[in-house]
């Protein structure tokens, strides 16, 4: 139906219409057990917060305070949104950073970047912490993962 009326929407607003439509479709097909609690509004807000975090994770002023300010909520409320979803703000951020690390380590685009450079780029202050966290999630060190992604993995 959107495709039938999209020409009536001003060009400047089309991206917002598409994004909102996709968010609505995503909400319709989101498994209910993905959220421990919270209202429909809280779940929708959390999805918007997560998308915003993905877009701003590496900005210099990124943090819980800047995210809360963007959505005009308190940091305490922001923490409660994540808690209702069965996680915490910091755990979610860590998972997002590790997911990005996994993609980067598997990508040829980042093959010239050292593990330390990658860790710093992803917001880790310390390579050892990055390596421990990565290994805990993926079962091998970042270096070992990179080698396997390049086809040199020996099982």
Range of the domain at 13: 1-30
Tens-digit pLDDT profile for residues 87-118: 999 999 999 999 999 999 998 888 889 999 99
Q: Is residue 65 part of a domain?
A: yes
Kindly state the tokens that stand for 6. Answer: 């999209």
To the nearest whole number, what is the mean pLDDT of the chain?
Answer: 83
Of 26 and 52, which is predicted with more confidence? 52
Compute φ and ψ for 154, nearest 5 degrees. -115, 110
**pLDDT of amino acid 13:** 64
Instruction: Give the confidence band of 7 by pLDDT, cuts at 50, 70, 90.
Output: confident
* The total number of structural domains that make up the chain: 3
Does 132 share its domain with 110? yes
Does 51 share its domain with 67? yes
Q: Is residue 154 part of a domain?
A: no
With contact defined as beta carbons under 8 Å apart, do 27 and 43 qualify?
A: yes
Domain boundary among 46, 70, 87: 87
- Write a three-state SS string for 47-88: HHHHHHHHHHCCCCCCCHHHHHHHHCCCHHHHHHHHHHCCCC
Question: Taking 70 as the threshold, does the pLDDT of residue 137 lie above it?
Answer: yes
Q: Is residue 155 part of a domain?
A: no
Does 80 share its domain with 44? yes
- Cα 86 to chain center, whole Å? 16
Question: Taking 90 as the threshold, does the pLDDT of residue 4 lie above it?
Answer: no
Mean pLDDT of 135-139: 94
Q: Is residue 108 part of a domain?
A: yes
Question: Taking 60 as the threshold, does the pLDDT of residue 34 lie above it?
Answer: no
Does 22 share its domain with 46? no
Q: Is residue 18 part of a domain?
A: yes
């Amino acid at each position: 139906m959107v495709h039938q009326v999209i020409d009536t929407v001003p060009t400047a607003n089309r991206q917002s219409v598409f994004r909102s439509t996709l968010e609505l479709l995503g909400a319709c097909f989101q498994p209910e057990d993905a959220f421990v609690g919270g209202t429909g509004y809280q779940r929708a807000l959390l999805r918007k917060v997560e998308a915003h975090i993905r877009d701003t994770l590496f900005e210099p002023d990124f943090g819980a305070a800047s995210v809360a300010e963007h959505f005009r909520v308190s940091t305490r409320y922001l923490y409660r949104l994540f808690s209702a979803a069965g996680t915490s703000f910091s755990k979610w951020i860590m998972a997002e950073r590790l997911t990005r690390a996994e993609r980067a380590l598997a990508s040829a685009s980042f093959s010239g970047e050292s593990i330390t450079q990658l860790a710093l780029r992803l917001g880790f202050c310390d390579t050892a912490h990055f390596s421990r966290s990565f290994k805990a999630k993926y079962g091998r060190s970042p270096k070992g993962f990179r080698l396997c992604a390049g086809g040199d993995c020996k099982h």
